[in-house]
């Protein structure tokens, strides 16, 4: 399996075909050129963790061949950052891991994931200075919901409590940003649009991490099996969503997010493709700051399954202790 010493040298390479960038290869090096055929990036395939292509592109056999040879996935995004396809390079044949996955579909796993998620939400609000009444009340409520999760008797009950807790958290965390509610994929405002983009980036990183070990991505514990849904990835992004939430709040306060960078089309806010590179840079930077934590969390999750460890040894991500 990939060690962290090897992993920390790897990078996510992004090609913006929206900016007329093109991909080519020279021996075992990936090259990205601009519209004037000037090389703007050259990277050894040995150092690539994942290749993301944003916008329309033609995939050549050379790209797919090197993806398999050097074990990096290729993820394809629309201009609006919706991931519509992944050419995977997952570890194959880990039948023992998958057997344990199918046998250990425990309610406790779902419970531990959401307790971790709420703990990070609490941490963000507690770190705020000069808390208003809404935020103070949210702290009390989230502490209570965290306790309720520990006593929940079904997945449905866990999901119900998690939904209420997230509503309380978002109202408190984004209080000063004219928060209107979380509507995934509806793109009703700039904040929801950027959350969709950031969470999509997070999803692809976690998916690539899980593929290192050969997990069945479609078998989750919190998110139940559903046709073509990668439920396990949906599970394990939950503790890390706070990274994106924290970065978005920082970006608004630093004036990195501007109304003029978005277009409103049929009631949806779409990030202008001319600005996509700029926004991708700071959203991805927040995730890469925590790449060590995400790596070790996934590694511990794998070991937890394989060694059949106790609930007390389940992996935990703490946004603040990992800074």
Measure the CA–CA gap between 227 and 320, rounded to whole angstroms. Answer: 36
Lowest mean pLDDT among 79-88, 171-180, 283-292: 79-88
Q: For residue 272, what are its two tokens?
A: 């202008």
Task: Assign domain 96-313 to its CATH superfamily.
Answer: CRISPR-associated endonuclease Cas1, C-terminal domain (1.20.120.920)
Lowest model confidence (mean pLDDT) among 3-7, 173-177, 224-228, 250-254: 224-228
Q: Which CATH homologous superfamily contains domain 4-87?
A: CRISPR-associated endonuclease Cas1, N-terminal domain (3.100.10.20)
In which band, very low, low, confident or very high, does the pLDDT at 20 lie, cut at 50, 70 and 90? confident
With 90 as the cut, is the pLDDT of residue 233 above it?
yes
As to burial, measured by CB atoms within 10 angstroms (0-12 exposed, 13-18 middle, 19+ buried), residue 67 is buried
Query: Quick check: 230 pLDDT over 90?
Result: yes
pLDDT higher than 80, residue 106: no
pLDDT for 1 beyond 90: no
In the prediction, which pLDDT does 57 show?
81
Q: What is the pLDDT of residue 51?
A: 94
pLDDT value at residue 104: 77
Cα angle 283-288-290, degrees, rounded to a multiple of 5: 110
CA distances to 98, 165, 251 from 143, in Å? 35, 10, 27
What is the pLDDT, as a whole number, of residue 318? 95
pLDDT: which is higher, 204 or 90: 204
Whether residue 276 is predicted with pLDDT greater than 50 in this model: the reply is yes
Range name among 89-93, 175-179, 193-197 with the lowest pLDDT average: 89-93
pLDDT band at 300, cuts 50/70/90?
very high
Per mean pLDDT, which of 237-241, 305-309, 310-314 is the most reliable? 237-241
More confident residue, 5 or 279: 279
Residue 228 buriedness (CB in 10 A; 0-12 / 13-18 / 19+): exposed
Mean pLDDT of 39-64: 90
pLDDT tops 80 at residue 282: yes
Domain ranges within the chain, ordered by starting residue: 4-87, 96-313
Spacing of C-alpha 147 from chain mean position: 26
Q: Check pLDDT > 60 for residue 323.
A: no
pLDDT at residue 244 tops 80 = yes
* pLDDT for the residue 216: 92
Mean pLDDT of the 33-41 span: 91
**Average pLDDT rounded to a whole number, residues 173-184:** 91
pTM, entire model: 0.91
């Amino acid at each position: 399996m990939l060690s962290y010493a090897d992993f920390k040298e790897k990078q996510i390479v992004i090609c913006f075909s929206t900016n007329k960038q093109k991909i080519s290869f020279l021996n075992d090096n990936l090259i990205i050129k601009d519209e004037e055929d000037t090389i703007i990036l050259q990277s050894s395939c040995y150092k690539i963790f994942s290749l993301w292509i944003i916008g329309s592109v033609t995939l050549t056999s050379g790209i797919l061949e090197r993806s398999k040879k050097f074990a990096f996935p290729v993820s394809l995004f629309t201009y609006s950052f919706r991931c519509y396809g992944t050419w995977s390079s997952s570890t194959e044949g880990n039948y023992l891991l998958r057997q344990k996955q199918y046998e250990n579909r425990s309610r406790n796993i779902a419970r531990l994931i959401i307790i971790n998620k709420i703990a990070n939400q609490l941490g963000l609000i507690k770190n705020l200075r000069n808390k208003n009444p809404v935020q103070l009340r949210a702290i009390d409520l989230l502490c209570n919901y965290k306790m309720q999760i520990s006593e929940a008797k079904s997945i449905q009950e866990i999901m119900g409590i998690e939904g209420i807790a997230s509503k309380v958290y978002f109202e408190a965390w984004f209080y000063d940003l004219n928060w209107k509610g979380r509507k995934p994929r509806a793109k009703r405002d700039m904040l929801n649009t950027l959350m969709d983009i950031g969470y999509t980036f997070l999803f692809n990183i976690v998916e690539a991490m899980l593929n290192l070990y050969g997990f069945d991505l479609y078998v989750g514990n919190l998110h139940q099996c559903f046709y073509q849904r990668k439920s396990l990835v949906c599970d394990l992004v939950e503790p890390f969503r706070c990274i994106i939430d924290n970065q978005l709040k920082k970006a608004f306060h630093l004036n990195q997010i501007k109304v003029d960078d978005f277009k409103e089309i049929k009631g949806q806010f779409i990030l202008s493709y001319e600005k996509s590179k700029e926004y991708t840079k700071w959203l991805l930077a927040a995730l890469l700051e925590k790449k060590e934590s995400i790596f070790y969390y996934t590694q511990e999750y794998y070991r937890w399954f394989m060694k059949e460890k106790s609930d007390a040894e389940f992996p935990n991500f703490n946004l603040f202790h990992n800074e």
